[in-house]
Chain A
Amino acid sequence: MSSSHDTHAAHDAATSHGAHAEKKSMRLMLHVWRQRDPSAEGKFVTYKLDDVSPDMSFLEMLDVLNERLIAGGDEAIAFDHDCREGICGACSLTINGQPHGFESETTTCQIHMRRFEDGQTIYIEPFRANAFPVVKDLVVDRGAFDRIIAAGGFITARAGSAPDANALPVPQVAADAAMDAAACIGCGACVAACKNASAMLFVSAKVSHLALLPQGQAERNSRVLAMVEQMDKEGFGNCTNESECEAACPKGISVSNIARLNREYLRALASSD
């Protein structure tokens, strides 16, 4: 792993405007997981690239490889991506064993090749978890997350029935804490990083977001019970407090949300309604 890569040199080069020095292209050795469909056996396939620009994003590097594959009549590598600005949560690569790679609080699509060394070997795999079956190559099915939200990750508020938004003041501290939790992009890196493939960080982020707001109180108990029940049904593992999820989370969602989830769950179990 190359987290020791020194970025200062790159910084200084980039900040001298008007005279952008020609940046040297990089050579890379890629081992990419290829799997035709969910039932097929997958394997790593090796590709060499020798003209990677340090300014490329990681996905643009894969674009270049895919263009080469298509030109040669081979099928392109399938991977999920969409906004390419770190917010949609679609991209989901395990890079050298780490979901979204080594850079902290960064989605796959926001990684740039200047963070890698010339000549480096990179392993690229899908997010691995039983609850996220591989669809093809690097694409997995994260429908389990949608089903958890459908089970209870909402506030029941029919269009047309809402009171004035300022009728219920929300203390700034509560709004900020709720926003911290609500920043989750539902990518599933937390699950892929956990040795138990637990979805506790994802579930706890939504439970926290809504439990912290006054609007979320009416369904506070039923919500956490329903979401946890669905989470278990989907085959996610349990949390054993390793905090790998927090380390992998591109949005910096804190494990303190998991503590809150546990409290909310116990509170709901103990309540009479």
Chain B
Amino acid sequence: MSTPTAVASSSKLDSKCPSGPLAERWQKHKFDLKLVNPANRRKFHVLVVGTGLAGASAASSLAELGYSVSAFCIQDSPRRAHSIAAQGGINAAKNCQNDGDSVHRLFYDTIKGGDFRARESNVHRLAEVSVNIIDQCVALGVPFAREYGGLLANRSFGGAQVSRTFYARGQTGQQLLLGAYSGLMRQVGEGKVNLYARHEMLDLVVIDGIARGIVCRNLITGEIKSYAGDAVLLCTGGYGNVFYLSTNAKACNVTAAWRAHKRGAVFANPCYTQIHPTCIPVSGSHQSKLTLMSESLRNDGRVWVPKVGDETRTPDQVPDEARDYYLERKYPSFGNLSPRDISSRAAKQVCDEGRGVGGSKMSVYLDFRDAIVRDGVDAIRARYGNLFQMYERITGEDPYRVPMRIYPAVHYTMGGVWVDYNLESTVPGLFVLGEANFSDHGANRLGASALMQGLADGYFVIPYTIASHLAGRKFGKVTAEHPEFRRVEQEVRERIERLRNAGGKRSPDSFHRELGLLMWDKCGMARNAGGLRQAIDCVRELREQYWQDVKIPGDAANLNNALEHAGRVADFFELAELMCMDALDRNESCGGHFREEFQTPDGEAKRDDANYCYAGAWEVDASSSSLAWKLLKEPLVFENVKLAERSYK
């Protein structure tokens, strides 16, 4: 293949990364950024879409600074955003355990964990501010686990050899979100934030090349209404639900990000999806979502399958010599705590070999037998009691007696809207935070780093970088009466009517399931060029059908769950095509993107740094009559770490 040895950068993708020594870049950049005078802040109105960790922390911090803020969420309360479901913990380089952690080590682990496909400057900043996040959360009253002496406790997580994960039982996401939510509600109570619950952003309004507002549907009354502002922040999470079955909450969707993409925001690395190794396996065709079992369980649980495929004994009757503890065997230094992408692929491999367990033979054991013998059942109950209980409720099996059965499931999406170092997209004035952006995790995210990134972006990055837009550019005031808002509102209404009037026979959910199966099969844990080409054709065909054959009873001027879902599925159809294109473009394996054609002799991901060391950012091709994209490339430059094969052996 004749490919250039160096990737040419697209002029549209200016990362605005500061230069100089890595550890000084963020300090330097903060100083170089413009400031907005305190008296002027209230004159700027910021629209924050989404109220998870990124959105709630951004909205409250900006309101504390004196900006006028409106916050929007699709749930009935901002407290229900999906950040709440994160279980295991949040990383921070505080080195509380005296075990050799440092900002640089967290930086390095994150870069390596991401398989060298993230920006050095962003990741270092993330590691730096991680320390402040824990302080901020404790100040807000987050009840992190404590040692007897009253100091903070830590646990280990995948992809790291130090204990840097802070946790609140198995409900860390809940406690962090409730902390951020309480800060947000304080600002709502003081009249500094206008809160719009059960409002869904259905489009972005761009005037003179700058993001100036959004169009929302009030999910209760169906009213389509515009909101104008001086900056728009998308904090709307990831797109894992394109697979239908994922650990995401049912309402998680790509619509806000996708609408922004269609209005000019470039979308990066859509093929980077994270498959979490420890989920409860699918039980039947009725399955509506998958439930994660926290990665923290791998601290004490041992993953195994029988050595032979036709093992008929119950798990407790299988002696050690007939068990294959395959993670411990293949990756002795990380063992059961190997990173997520590697553990997931290893599980797929043993199941593909016919050694899987359970009715469908599509699961592996996560066994606590040895930990219970070693530490006693009470210690295990204290550590994981709520998780064991949840497992038993869902499966009807008691994990204290029978090993858990787990299988990988879609969990997180590293790709997202492309942003520069300021978290600003290619549409000036449109910032993207948290999982919705692409910035920090490269091709694979380490456990306990999503919470860290969401809060870093909201508490400690956007409060500074938003000034680059508000104070750095000249733009006049607009109101929602501007004709461009009227035009976009009309487009939103027409789109809804088109869906409602399709007059077909199938529910949005049935199409969504079909799309999900296709994506899991062709663009899931392993991909190949033939399958991806086939998937692109199938997605296009199914999308055609969708607009002809979808059926949505009920009206648009009332709460209508099927109508909400229908709009989201329509956007997933477009995203699905782009994910496959991106996966097809990337002729290498890295992190969560595993192309079967590109693997080492022992089945590990084989990167191609000469040709693919870039962020692949896709721009909608406005010159094309049908939906088409142009690929822009942002070369990734590594000045502080050496590109190496990512070994956990």
Which of A's residues lie within 8 Å of B, judged by CB? 7, 10-11, 14-20, 36-37, 53, 55-57, 59-61, 63-64, 66-67, 69-71, 73-76, 78, 80-90, 106, 110, 112, 114, 135-136, 139, 141-143, 145-146, 149-166, 168-172, 175, 178-179, 182-183, 185-186, 209-210, 213, 215-216
Q: How far is the CB of A260 from chain B (nearest CB, A)?
A: 15
Q: How far is the CB of A155 from chain B (nearest CB, A)?
A: 5
Confirm or deny: B80 has a beta carbon within 8 angstroms of a beta carbon on chain A.
Answer: yes
Per-residue contact bits, chain B 62-78, to A (CB 8 Å; 1 contact, 0 not) = 00100000000001111
Among the listed A69, A135, A145, A162, which residue makes an inter-chain contact with B135, where contact means beta carbons less than 8 Å apart? Answer: A162
Decide: A146 near B561, CB < 8 A? Known: A60-B286, A161-B139.
no
Interface contact A90-B80, CB-CB below 8 Å? yes
Which residues from B are CB-within-8-Å of A162?
132, 135-136, 138-139
Which residues from B are CB-within-8-Å of A155?
139-141, 182
Which residues from A are CB-within-8-Å of B292?
85
Interface contact B182-A55, CB-CB below 8 Å? no
Confirm or deny: B460 has a beta carbon within 8 angstroms of a beta carbon on chain A.
Answer: yes
Interface contact B79-A112, CB-CB below 8 Å? no
Confirm or deny: B333 has a beta carbon within 8 angstroms of a beta carbon on chain A.
Answer: no
* CB-CB nearest in chain B for A215: B141
Decide: A15 near B402, CB < 8 A? Known: A143-B77, A150-B186, A175-B145.
yes
Confirm or deny: B601 has a beta carbon within 8 angstroms of a beta carbon on chain A.
Answer: no
Interface contact A165-B134, CB-CB below 8 Å? yes
Among the listed B57, B140, B195, B562, which residue makes an inter-chain contact with A70, where contact means beta carbons less than 8 Å apart? Answer: B562
Which secondary structure dominates where chain A touches chain B? loop
Interface contact A55-B139, CB-CB below 8 Å? no
* CB-CB nearest in chain B for A141: B76
* CB-CB nearest in chain B for A19: B359
Chain B 371-402 residues near chain A, CB threshold 8 A: 390, 393-398, 401-402
8 sample A-B contacts, Cβ–Cβ < 8 Å, listed by A number: A71-B505, A82-B80, A136-B559, A146-B188, A154-B183, A161-B139, A162-B135, A179-B169
- In the bound complex, how far is the Cα of B251 from the Cα of A242, in angstroms? 36
Interface contact B139-A215, CB-CB below 8 Å? yes
Decide: A142 near B138, CB < 8 A? Known: A17-B314, A82-B250.
no
Interface contact A154-B182, CB-CB below 8 Å? yes
Extra inter-chain contacts (13) besides given A83-B80, A172-B146, CB under 8 Å = A37-B558, A70-B553, A76-B554, A76-B561, A80-B76, A88-B80, A88-B84, A89-B79, A114-B396, A149-B185, A154-B141, A154-B183, A165-B139
Which residues from A are CB-within-8-Å of B531?
none
Among the listed A18, A145, A216, which residue makes an inter-chain contact with B77, where contact means beta carbons less than 8 Å apart? Answer: A145
Confirm or deny: B357 has a beta carbon within 8 angstroms of a beta carbon on chain A.
Answer: yes
Which residues from B are CB-within-8-Å of A146?
77-79, 185, 188, 195, 197
Interface contact B553-A53, CB-CB below 8 Å? no
Among the listed A16, A73, A75, A183, which residue makes an inter-chain contact with B560, where contact means beta carbons less than 8 Å apart? Answer: A75
Which residues from B are CB-within-8-Å of A57?
288, 394
Among the listed B132, B135, B150, B510, which residue makes an inter-chain contact with A170, where contact means beta carbons less than 8 Å apart? Answer: B150
Interface contact B64-A158, CB-CB below 8 Å? yes
- In the bound complex, how far is the Cα of B51 from the Cα of A146, in angstroms? 13
Decide: A157 near B149, CB < 8 A? Known: A75-B554, A75-B560.
no
- In the bound complex, how far is the Cα of B287 from the Cα of A61, in angstroms? 10
Which residues from A are CB-within-8-Å of B562?
66, 70, 75-76
Which residues from A are CB-within-8-Å of B78?
146
- In the bound complex, how far is the Cα of B171 from the Cα of A185, in angstroms? 11
Confirm or deny: B599 has a beta carbon within 8 angstroms of a beta carbon on chain A.
Answer: no
Confirm or deny: B481 has a beta carbon within 8 angstroms of a beta carbon on chain A.
Answer: no
Interface contact B85-A112, CB-CB below 8 Å? no
Which residues from A are CB-within-8-Å of B171?
87, 183
* CB-CB nearest in chain B for A7: B396
Among the listed A14, A59, A63, A175, which residue makes an inter-chain contact with B143, where contact means beta carbons less than 8 Å apart? Answer: A175
Interface contact B182-A149, CB-CB below 8 Å? yes
Interface contact A70-B507, CB-CB below 8 Å? yes
* CB-CB nearest in chain A for B565: A76
Stretch at the interface among B31-39, B173-181, B606-614: B173-181
Interface contact A151-B80, CB-CB below 8 Å? no
Which residues from A are CB-within-8-Å of B510?
67
Interface contact B189-A166, CB-CB below 8 Å? no
Interface contact B286-A63, CB-CB below 8 Å? yes
Which residues from B are CB-within-8-Å of A145?
77
Interface contact A73-B553, CB-CB below 8 Å? yes
- In the bound complex, how far is the Cα of B220 from the Cα of A78, in angstroms? 11
Interface contact B150-A210, CB-CB below 8 Å? no
Interface contact A143-B80, CB-CB below 8 Å? no
A-B contact count, CB below 8 Å?
A: 261
Among the listed A157, A164, A186, which residue makes an inter-chain contact with B79, where contact means beta carbons less than 8 Å apart? Answer: A186
Interface contact A165-B138, CB-CB below 8 Å? yes
Q: How far is the CB of A99 from chain B (nearest CB, A)?
A: 16
Q: How far is the CB of A57 from chain B (nearest CB, A)?
A: 7
Q: How far is the CB of B463 from chain A (nearest CB, A)?
A: 7
Which residues from A are CB-within-8-Å of B149?
169
Confirm or deny: B284 has a beta carbon within 8 angstroms of a beta carbon on chain A.
Answer: yes
Confirm or deny: B82 has a beta carbon within 8 angstroms of a beta carbon on chain A.
Answer: yes
Interface contact A82-B288, CB-CB below 8 Å? no
Interface contact A186-B135, CB-CB below 8 Å? no
Which residues from B are CB-within-8-Å of A63?
286, 288, 509
Interface contact B146-A170, CB-CB below 8 Å? yes
- In the bound complex, how far is the Cα of B314 from the Cα of A20, in angstroms? 12
Which residues from A are CB-within-8-Å of B135?
162-165
Interface contact A82-B141, CB-CB below 8 Å? no
* CB-CB nearest in chain A for B306: A18
* CB-CB nearest in chain A for B402: A15
Q: How far is the CB of B616 from chain A (nearest CB, A)?
A: 31
Interchain residue pairs A-B with the least CB separation, the first 5 = A169-B150, A20-B359, A150-B189, A162-B139, A157-B139
Among the listed B64, B82, B463, B507, which residue makes an inter-chain contact with A71, where contact means beta carbons less than 8 Å apart? Answer: B507
Q: How far is the CB of A93 from chain B (nearest CB, A)?
A: 14
Confirm or deny: B541 has a beta carbon within 8 angstroms of a beta carbon on chain A.
Answer: no
Q: How far is the CB of B221 from chain A (nearest CB, A)?
A: 9
Which residues from B are CB-within-8-Å of A16?
314
Chain B 568-583 residues near chain A, CB threshold 8 A: none
Which residues from A are CB-within-8-Å of B480?
none
* CB-CB nearest in chain B for A56: B286
Which residues from B are CB-within-8-Å of A164?
135
Decide: A15 near B397, CB < 8 A? Known: A154-B140, A213-B143.
yes
